[in-house]
Amino acid sequence: MELVLMRGPDVSCRVGINNGENLAVSVHDTATLHRQRPCQQFLLRYSLLLLLGLIATELLTTRIEAAEIMTAYAVIKYNSREQLKTFNNKVQIRGNSGRDWNSKETPEATAGIQISHLIIRVQKILGMHPNGLHFTITILDSPEQVQAAYYKQYGNTVDFIAFYSPGQETLYFAANHLRHSVLAHEIAHAVVHRYFEKTPPAAIHELLAQYVEKRL
């Protein structure tokens, strides 16, 4: 495809686009170099606008594909609405009134409500309400992605479907293999980590997290 962007008696400016990828610019001037300058300036401005447009498109696409939900206790990072729907369907947390949180709200609102509700329940079960509790929850698609994240941080091969990283204060889990008891277990690790000035030994951490699972 070729676009004629500027034409005059002795000069024309053409932009050719091949397969939507390659941009070719040509200046056709039958007169002097002096007459080429307006065309060259126009092409420079056009190229800058095109570049800005491509950058804006890339930023917009990235934001859609990787988004965040802010809640009182956590930042939830996810890749798509479908991922959130999978999470909401797997967890299915109900409040004290028996209301199904997944019935009316958007996937984003439902996920935020369910996470916040579960964090409050975990704190109540433990009797621990650490000041400034706030951590990151990263939703991944599969156990393999969870295991790859663990290997990247610790260099060990595991078969986990979820884990909490104290160093990053981040909880990772696979949306398609999730149960609310598993999520509560990992949230308990985050709560215990923030509650004590000096974090307890790993065995105590695990006992407290298992206690939460049994009391849900």
Give whole-number Cα distances, 34 to 8, 29, 38, 79, 175, in Å: 14, 10, 8, 53, 64
Task: Report percent pLDDT > 70 for the chain.
Answer: 64
- pLDDT of 116 above 50: yes
Q: Which CATH code fits 66-215? A: 3.40.390
Is the pLDDT score of 9 beyond 60? no
pLDDT at residue 5 greater than cutoff 60:
no
Q: Identify the residue whose tokens are 């980590």.
A: 193
Q: Find how far residue 188's CA is from the centre of its chain.
A: 22
pLDDT of residue 32: 47
Q: Are 146 and 140 in contact (CB under 8 A)?
A: yes
Closest CA to 176 of 89, 98, 94: 89
Q: pTM of the full predicted structure? A: 0.66
- The band of 105, judged by pLDDT with boundaries at 50, 70 and 90, is confident
Pick the closest to residue 153 from 141, 164, 140 (CA basis): 164
What is the percent of the chain where pLDDT is above 90?
Answer: 52
C-alpha to C-alpha distance for 166 and 15, rounded to whole angstroms:
54
Predicted confidence at residue 188, as pLDDT, reads 97
pLDDT tens digits along 133-155: 999 999 999 999 999 999 999 99
- Burial zone of 40 (CB within 10 Å; 0-12 exposed, 13-18 middle, 19+ buried): middle
Quickly state the pLDDT bin for 39 (edges 50, 70, 90).
low
Is the pLDDT confidence value at 30 over 50? no
**Contact indicator for 77, 139 with CB cutoff of 8 Å:** yes
Q: Is the pLDDT of residue 206 over 90?
A: yes
Determine how β-strand 135-140 pairs with β-strand 170-174.
parallel
pLDDT single digits (tens) 47-103: 666 666 655 544 443 343 469 999 999 999 999 999 988 888 888 765 443 344 445
Q: So what's the pLDDT on residue 199? A: 87
What per-residue confidence (pLDDT) applies to 177?
87
Q: For the chain, what are the domain ranges?
A: 2-64, 66-215
Banded model confidence at residue 178, pLDDT cuts 50, 70, 90: confident
What are the backbone angles phi and psi of residue 149, rounded to the nearest 5°?
-65, -40
Whether residue 180 contacts residue 91, with contact meaning beta carbons closer than 8 Å, is answered with: yes
Residue 42's pLDDT is what?
58
Question: Which strand (E) or helix (H) includes residue 67?
Answer: strand 67-70
C-beta of residue 209 within 8 angstroms of C-beta of residue 163: no
The pLDDT, as a whole number, for residue 15 is: 44
